[in-house]
Amino acid sequence: MKNFIKLLSIITIVFITTVQSNSAEKVDYLKTDWSFKGIFGKFDRGSLQRGYQVYTEVCSSCHSMKYLSYRNLGEKGGPEFSEEAVKVIAASFEVNDGPNADGEMFTRPGKPSDKFIMPYDNVKAAQAANGGAYPPDMSVLVKARGGGVDYIYSLLQGYEDAPSGMILDEGVHYNKYMYGNKIKMSAPLSEGVVEYRDGTEATVEQMSKDVTTFLMWAAEPHLESRHRMGFKAIVYLIILTILVYLSMKRIWSRIETEV
């Protein structure tokens, strides 16, 4: 009996702590119109291509995307760059390869089959270059963070001066959407830091939306096909339900109602 009461007390404490934690972490994130939301949702191709540009020119110097290959940029459902464009993009990067016939490593232009190059050789190098903090891989970052796309979108725009009385350590910045409001990454986006090739104005809001859309695709590249499959399944179930209803109605029509 004592063990049961002790176990019940532990469960109660854990439950209360979890509820309080979730309540404390509840934040009203910035909202925007995501084209990929809903059963008919699709990725905006222009936004995906601009988002890749933001990642390449701003984020890739610190953050890796180790689960993506350059050829993925040309696949259906993604940014859908042309085959030639993918080859040009891949070739613009130097890839370490080898060993060659002499047993030596060498560098070569990237190929579509290559994974996105890593910004650092290892974790320790990444931490040393970022004041001890390790920039997370961005391949599935949207899925790994509570709040998903709304959190990433808000975080990129959440840099502000720290409230009065709040002391920040050197190299630490205030962000109202970051867990704990303290972040070592300085604000990565500023007006005009990227010049979009399609002429779109590169505001912080626009860049935040585009790169977040790109990260959503990276984390869920088959989202569009999943939506199509879900829609077909719903239509199938509706038709099946109607057929079952008509069949049952026909069967019961043959049975005389008892008076």
With contact defined as beta carbons under 8 Å apart, do 140 and 219 qualify?
A: yes
- Looking at residue 69, its pLDDT comes to 97
**Peptide bond preceding 136: is omega within 30 degrees of 0, i.e. cis?**
no
Span between the terminal Cα atoms of the chain, in Å: 60
pLDDT given for residue 250 in this prediction: 80
The number of angstroms, rounded, from the C-alpha of 154 to the middle of its chain's C-alpha atoms is: 13
Question: Given 3-state DSSP classes, what are the helix, strand and coil percentages for the chain, each rounded to the nearest 5?
Answer: 45, 5, 45
Question: Which residues make beta-bridge pairs with 107?
Answer: 96
CA dist 209 and 28 (Å) reads 17
Q: Which residues of the chain have pLDDT under 50?
A: 4, 7-8, 10, 13-24, 259
CATH 3.40.50.720 fits 28-68+115-220, yes or no: no
pTM for this model (two decimals): 0.82
How does pLDDT run across 92-141, given as a tens digit for each residue? 999 999 888 888 899 999 999 999 999 999 999 999 998 888 999 999 99
What per-residue confidence (pLDDT) applies to 157? 97
Quick one: pLDDT at residue 118? 94
Taking the C-alpha atoms of residue 59 and residue 141, their distance in angstroms, rounded to an integer, is: 13
Residues composing the chain: 259
Q: Which residue, among 120, 121, 78, 95, has the nearest Cα to 215 in the 3D structure?
A: 78
Cβ contact 138:152 at 8 Å: no
CA distance 36 to 51: 14
Q: State the Cα–Cα distance between residues 69 and 72, nearest whole angstrom.
A: 5
Cα 146 to chain centroid, rounded: 11
Residues β-bridged to residue 115 = 69
* Predicted pLDDT of residue 26: 64
Residue 24 has a pLDDT of 41
pLDDT the model gives residue 258: 52
Match 């084209």 to its residue by tokens.
35
Cβ-proximal residues to 112 (8 Å cutoff; 6+ apart), any chain: 69, 70, 71, 74, 86, 87, 90
Q: Is 38 left (phi over 0), alpha (psi -120 to 50) or beta?
A: left
